[in-house]
Structure 1
């Protein structure tokens, strides 16, 4: 029989509709100022393909915006009754400094769907703590601004998360992309990224069915939040939740992934979760342009490190590896605080948008 380990779910904000205005913000990095090509492409697709009207805020294209100014834009976007959703331009590395300047009473009173990942894990965690469902995925410069064309799987997931309530079945990608091309080169945007055969999902401790609300995001960002003792609740707050994790283009080595998860285990967090979804590890960067065999080895070493930690701190927990979430191409959106069903018997993952 399925084991329903759910906790009380946060509230799903009302979804936008075609024709609505959506805020495009840079709560992390103002990279649109330096690299406008993918940003303008993403904005055009929001208008033409998704029929949404993107609205920029003062710090969206400012590289030097202070945490206070970026928080002011977040507060203003949530407060504006004419804004139906909020979408991050891209990630970064210091959104943690924005969190203290957010108006929590305002955010609770005016919940809106927020889309972002990577450093935007900070804001997703913050909204989760306020009881608001967010959406892990869908940045303007990367997913909407993908060279050549949006990946059909990514576009379908974003369309469902933006506009369609209810369940959505995730399926493994048959082909995926790892190698990026420079945004500074206009030729990058003439063709789609090259794809290669993708590993299928790897199931660990299957034979169980777990359903619960999600929590997690980018592992590096979560480690910073834990070090700062910022926004992380007591372990019991996550009882029965489905943990989902992914790593970025900074490509932390397997030993660091192990150590971070070990600390979560020592804190008493890991054993509270009902299941784990682990994103397909980003295994190439301009700083570390690994070959195909090296990329496969990096991903395998990360899988082995995660399994070792789970076997030590959460034995028996079901886990699924190489899910297309986070820094992946294609990317599927994960509702942050929304319901997910991990069916190891049928080898199916169902999210509720």
Structure 2
């Protein structure tokens, strides 16, 4: 396996970059964004430093790439966190200065469309962190979820093993960001049933790779993913977005990874609890359960066909649901099916 660089961690009081590598939504919803920045300052004691495109909607990909490269190059900044995701970060990648990034590795935090940058860093041999965006995890109405805060704090400031724990509650019905009156009201949470284990009954350990499934599909189409042999013994991370892809789309993406000779390389697959509600698809609890069950079956079907020896864990609190655990992409994960435990190394 390739040797991965774990960038040095920031400390309270440090300056960190806040970027918008995808959508410049801080320009559209400044109140939400400012709430996230306030928590960075007050709860984490970090000093956010913005760049020219951080509050610009529709910024040119080359300008965004310049900001990303500059943030890595600046020795006064000790970490980088994305404001939010989007849908076009893939257009930024070819404009990055990889030599600068590789020579100045820093912890990068983001998810959703930021799967692009996490995969890019993985290709450069640098560990990045899936989760922790300013306008979602940090700006959660009312307060940060305690499970999210604990995980993000550990990922930001520590370097040891961290055990992931199932949440007793979950949410996937965010408030309308345009309604400022809801800023101090916590979102609706529902009882969580914990993780679901499937596949092989064994313990595996390996580096993590993956992220938002829709973005992984785009990266594979664009040829931006490493050759299949790069993933031997790795642990695959999958989660889906508010676009709520169908179970058949999920299966076909994984099937195509199988036909690529890629899916069989993974020793385990960690799957996030599927987001099953959106403003234009306000599913009932019964519809949510059915959607998640169909997606789970689709993953099991693909993995059984191409990676029958893999351990599967479903309904982790990662990605687009609340709370959100942070995963080190390129960092080690231990998946123990016998004792039903998952830990990662930050």
TM-score per shorter chain, which class? over 0.9
Matched ranges for 1:3-14 at <5 A: 7-14=1-8
Residue 215 of structure 1 is matched in structure 2 by 209
Question: Matches of 2:202 and 2:336 in 1, distance apart?
Answer: 6
Residue 51 of structure 1 is matched in structure 2 by 45
Question: Matches of 2:257 and 2:37 in 1, distance apart?
Answer: 38
Q: Of residues 273, 289, 311 in structure 2, which corresponds to 1:318? A: 311
Question: Matches of 1:352 and 1:217 in 2, distance apart?
Answer: 17
Residue 140 of structure 1 is matched in structure 2 by 134
Q: Of residues 307, 327, 330 in structure 1, which corresponds to 2:323? A: 330
Residue 342 of structure 2 is matched in structure 1 by 349
Contact kept, 8 Å, 2:172 with 2:320, in 1: the verdict is no
Greater alpha carbon shift after TM alignment, 197-206 vs 155-164: 197-206
User: What is the aligned length?
Assistant: 346
Q: Does 1:280 align with 2:276?
A: no
Residue 162 of structure 1 is matched in structure 2 by 156
Q: Of residues 95, 99, 104 in structure 1, which corresponds to 2:93? A: 99
How far did residue 206 of structure 1 move?
4.4
**Which string of whole-angstrom CA distances, capped at 9 and with x for unpartnered residues, describes residues 223-270 of structure 1?**
00111112x111101000111110000000101001111100110110
Contact kept, 8 Å, 1:215 with 1:244, in 2: the verdict is yes
Q: Of residues 297, 305, 321 in structure 1, which corresponds to 2:298? A: 305
Question: Matches of 1:199 and 1:59 in 2, distance apart?
Answer: 41
Local SS of the residue matching 1:85 = strand
Runs of 4+ in 1 over 4 A off after TM superposition: none
Contact kept, 8 Å, 1:238 with 1:269, in 2: the verdict is yes
Residue 185 of structure 2 is matched in structure 1 by 191
Contact kept, 8 Å, 1:214 with 1:336, in 2: the verdict is yes
How far did residue 188 of structure 1 move?
1.6
**Which string of whole-angstrom CA distances, capped at 9 and with x for unpartnered residues, describes residues 23-79 of structure 1?**
000000000000111100000000000000000100000002100000000000000
Question: Matches of 2:7 and 2:341 in 1, distance apart?
Answer: 26
Residue 292 of structure 1 is matched in structure 2 by 285
RMSD over aligned CA atoms reads 0.7
Residue 29 of structure 2 is matched in structure 1 by 35
Greater alpha carbon shift after TM alignment, 193-202 vs 100-109: 193-202
Contact kept, 8 Å, 1:9 with 1:213, in 2: the verdict is no
Greater alpha carbon shift after TM alignment, 263-272 vs 199-208: 199-208
Contact kept, 8 Å, 1:206 with 1:345, in 2: the verdict is no
Q: Which runs of 5+ in 2 are unaligned?
A: none
Contact kept, 8 Å, 2:267 with 2:309, in 1: the verdict is no
**Which string of whole-angstrom CA distances, capped at 9 and with x for unpartnered residues, describes residues 111-154 of structure 1?**
00000000000000000000000000000000000000000000
